Every structure is written in structure tokens, then in C-alpha cells.
Amino acid sequence: MPAKVGAVKVISLSSSSIFNIGDVYNMAPYASAKTFAGGGSFNTGDGIRIRLNRADTFVNDSEAIDQPIVNNA
């Protein structure tokens, strides 16, 4: 059903977001990310104690494209 929309002010959009005004059948944003982190990087909670005597993260990524995003439709 058509709708009347007044003024719209968009401050910012992230790289994997969709902005739509009006009727739409299907919306599917595509995004990919790669994260490298060392030991104890993603621990969350209350009272966590982490003791890492030596924590090194070595990354050897020889691939230029890991998973391409194509045909975003």
C-alpha cells in the first residue's frame, strides 16, 4: 500500500545497511568481515582474570579475496 512520506534526514549509514522508503518485497544486506585476535581478546563478564605470559597473534593471509560479495540482488 503506498504511503505518503514527509521530509527525511539521514545522518549516516554503515557499509552493510539498507535505507528504503516505500514498498519493498525483499531486503537483504550483504557484508563480510575478517577478525584476527590474540588469546583472551573476546572474553566478557564480571571478575574475569586472564593471565597470558606470552600472547602473540601471527597472521599469514596469502589470499587477496576470501569470500567475494557479488550479485547483491
Cα four-point dihedral sign 34, 39, 41, 45: positive
- The mean pLDDT of the chain is 77
Q: How confident is the model at residue 71 (pLDDT cuts 50, 70, 90)?
A: low
Rounded mean pLDDT of 35-59?
A: 77
pTM attached to this predicted model: 0.35
20's CB contacts (< 8 A; 6+ apart) are: 27
User: What is the C-alpha separation between 53 and 9, in angstroms, rounded?
Assistant: 51
Q: Give the amino acid at 8.
A: V
In this prediction, residue 17 carries a pLDDT of 81
